[in-house]
């Protein structure tokens, strides 16, 4: 039976893991082609489904491999799986040969009572972790029905693994207390170990080569990726001092399209830590390159709309021609920082008291395509705070409070206020009054 599990578990679970790894890499391609990234809100389903399933099945292997991810030059997607696959196979080979998780049977215990105590403590910790995960999963399952499948995948695997490992620790502790310690196995020949090692190495070599075929070719950070049919645009974004701007969205707009047709045909990417951007696999055509054409400037990126090579309007922008197999490298686009204005704010109920937690929602009237600027102002605690906005624009603002009522969430909003930050007319303070206070807001409000 041990020999059966020693071969069956690594091969079967290894093949499943390889399939999930290739699926995840293909999903990454789709996400990048849509201008998204994992850290900017790629949907959990279906694009992260493969990664969730992989981590659920192999949770202990993920924990064991985690320290290796900090090695230099290990990129999250490309190098992660080359490290994970051998660890996954070793984990399941170990489980198959040591069905009690290898805790007993490999050495003699001189102090079984002390060892049993440590095993029992480890089991209690693992059980607590597993129970906490299960309870958290149940709570989220009840509160968020549309994402139940994702939540089940995210929480069930690690929680069940914690319970299973706790069971192994408790079983080993019980054997030590009852003095049923297995004898140390007699030394055997190394032919079987050698055969398993050769087979394991061959399996890793074949599967990693399969993963390699699914990976995108590495792109030179100083250029972009073109193909026989399509071209690309590469460049850098910096501020007026020449310092690179990280994480700003660069928009590549078709010059021959307008309105909604342009919106759906445009491409969006964000700059890296060196201010570099690459828009790959562009259809041949004529484009404008812009920053903050659709997204309003905010306190972390206080830059007005700028078209390449450095104009505020499309009329003066340079038309960038992209042809088949045509990499285009643009000179650095430097953005001028806008002055900032800081405004004190107060949110009150009509009776004069302040809500415990509230949110401020803004709309920059200079950017009609953007509904709100959600990251400009922090959450307000006890109805007071301050926020910072770029000057030179007209804004609409309102306050919002969400309360946890008996029949669901109750929301209340203040009247909308219009104010300007032009020509030195920035208000020093804004007060938002919310007229109707729900009964549920006698308790702490939800975090908006």
3-class DSSP string for 23-70 = HHHHHHHHHHHCCCCHHHCCCCCCCCHHHHHHHHHCHHHHHHHHHHHH
Both tokens assigned to 71:
């090695």
CB 18 within 8 A of CB 58: no
How much is the pLDDT for 176?
77
> For residue 174, what pLDDT is reported?
81
CA distances in angstroms from 392 to 126, 291, 365, listed in the order given: 56, 17, 11
Which tokens in the block code for residue 85?
Answer: 């696959």
**The token pair that represents 56 in the structure block:** 């659920």
Q: Which tokens sit at 434?
A: 């919310």
Half-sphere exposure at residue 224, Cβ-oriented, CA atoms within 13 angstroms: 25
Q: Which residues are bridge partners to 269 per DSSP?
A: 250
Which of the 8 DSSP states describes residue 303?
B
d(CA 135, CA 246): 39
DSSP per residue, 145-208: GGGHHHHHHHHHHHHHHHHHHHHHHHHHHHHHHTT-PPPPPPP--SHHHHHHHHHHHHHHHHHH
Per-residue tokens: 150:
């994702």
For the chain, 448 residues long, the average pLDDT of each consecutive 10-residue run is: 68 82 76 50 64 80 72 54 79 71 53 81 84 76 64 71 81 76 48 60 60 51 77 92 90 87 86 89 91 85 90 90 89 92 89 84 79 59 87 89 72 88 90 78 49
The 8-class DSSP code of residue 440 comes to G
pLDDT of residue 41: 47
Closest C-alpha to 367, from 300, 314, 312, 295: 295
3-state SS of the chain: helix, strand, coil percent to 5?
40, 25, 35
Q: What is the pLDDT of residue 286?
A: 93
Place of tokens 């981590």: 55
pTM beyond cutoff 0.85: no
- What are 268's strand-pairing partners? 251
Q: Tell me, what's the pLDDT at 184?
A: 44
C-alpha span between 289 and 329 (Å, rounded): 12
Helical axes 49-57 vs 2-33, angle rounded to 10°: 160
What count of Cα atoms within 13 Å lies in the side-chain half-sphere of residue 352? 0
Among residues 267, 256, 236, 261, the alpha carbon closest in space to that of 321 is found at: 256
Give whole-number Cα distances, 101 to 134, 332, 413, 425, in Å.
22, 57, 56, 70
How does pLDDT run across 306-349, given as a tens digit for each residue? 999 989 888 889 999 999 888 899 999 999 999 998 999 999 98
pLDDT at 339: 92
Radius of gyration in angstroms for the set of CA atoms belonging to the chain, rounded to a whole number:
29
Pairing of strands 333-335, 384-390: unpaired
> Hey, what are 294's tokens?
């659709």
Any idea which residue has 């079984």 for tokens? 112
DSSP state of 423: T
pLDDT at 189: 47
- Please answer whether residues 11 and 200 qualify as being in contact, where contact means their C-beta atoms are separated by less than 8 angstroms: no
Whether the CB-CB separation of 295 and 367 falls below 8 Å is answered with yes
| Angstrom distance (rounded) from CA 84 to CA 76 | 11
Q: What domains does the chain contain, in order, with CATH numbers?
A: 2-214 (no CATH), 231-335 (2.60.40.10), 340-442 (2.60.40.1120)
Q: 335 burial class (0-12, 13-18, 19+ CB within 10 angstroms)?
A: buried
**Among 196, 299, 305, residue whose Cα is nearest residue 249:** 305
- Half-sphere exposure (Cβ direction) of 84: Cα atoms closer than 13 Å: 29
């Amino acid at each position: 039976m041990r020999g059966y599990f020693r071969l069956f578990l690594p091969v079967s679970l290894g093949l499943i893991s390889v399939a999930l790894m290739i699926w995840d890499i293909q999903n990454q391609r789709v996400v990048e082609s849509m201008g998204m990234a994992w850290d900017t809100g790629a949907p959990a389903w279906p694009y992260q489904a493969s990664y969730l399933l992989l981590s659920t099945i192999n949770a202990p292997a993920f924990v064991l491999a985690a320290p290796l991810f900090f090695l230099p030059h290990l990129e999250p997607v490309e190098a992660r799986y080359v490290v994970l696959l051998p660890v996954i196979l070793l984990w399941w080979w170990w489980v198959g040969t040591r069905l009690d998780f290898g805790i007993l049977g490999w050495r003699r215990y001189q102090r079984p009572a002390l060892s049993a105590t440590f095993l029992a403590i480890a089991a209690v910790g693992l059980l607590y972790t597993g129970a906490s995960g299960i309870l958290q999963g149940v709570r989220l399952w009840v509160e968020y029905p549309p994402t139940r499948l994702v939540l089940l995948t995210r929480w069930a695997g690690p929680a069940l693994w914690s319970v299973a490992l706790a069971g192994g620790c408790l079983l080993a502790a019980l054997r030590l207390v009852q003095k049923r310690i297995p004898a140390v196995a007699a030394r055997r020949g190394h032919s079987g170990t050698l055969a398993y090692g050769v087979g394991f190495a061959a399996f890793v070599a074949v599967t990693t080569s399969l993963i390699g075929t699914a990976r995108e070719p590495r792109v030179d950070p100083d250029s972009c990726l073109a193909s026989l049919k399509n071209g690309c645009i590469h460049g850098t974004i910096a501020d007026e001092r020449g310092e690179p701007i990280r994480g700003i969205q660069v928009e590549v707009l078709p010059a021959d399209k307008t309105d909604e047709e342009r919106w759906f045909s445009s491409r969006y990417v964000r700059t890296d830590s060196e201010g570099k951007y690459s828009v790959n696999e562009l259809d041949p055509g004529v484009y404008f390159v812009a920053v903050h054409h659709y997204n309003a400037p905010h306190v972390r990126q206080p830059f007005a709309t700028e078209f390449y090579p450095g104009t505020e309007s499309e009329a003066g922008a340079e038309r960038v021609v992209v042809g088949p197999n045509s990499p285009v490298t643009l000179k650095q686009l430097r953005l001028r920082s806008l002055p900032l204005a800081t405004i004190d704010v107060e949110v009150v109920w009509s009776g004069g008291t302040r809500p415990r937690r509230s949110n401020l929602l803004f709309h920059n009237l200079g950017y009609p395509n953007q509904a709100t600027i959600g990251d400009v102002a922090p959450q307000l605690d006890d109805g007071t705070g301050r926020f910072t906005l770029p000057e030179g624009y007209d804004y609409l603002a309102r306050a919002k409070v969400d309360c946890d009522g008996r029949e669901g969430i109750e929301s209340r909003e203040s009247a909308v206020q219009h104010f300007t930050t032009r020509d030195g007319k920035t208000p020093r303070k804004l007060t938002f009054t919310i007229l109707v206070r729900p009964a549920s807001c006698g308790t702490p409000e939800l975090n908006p």
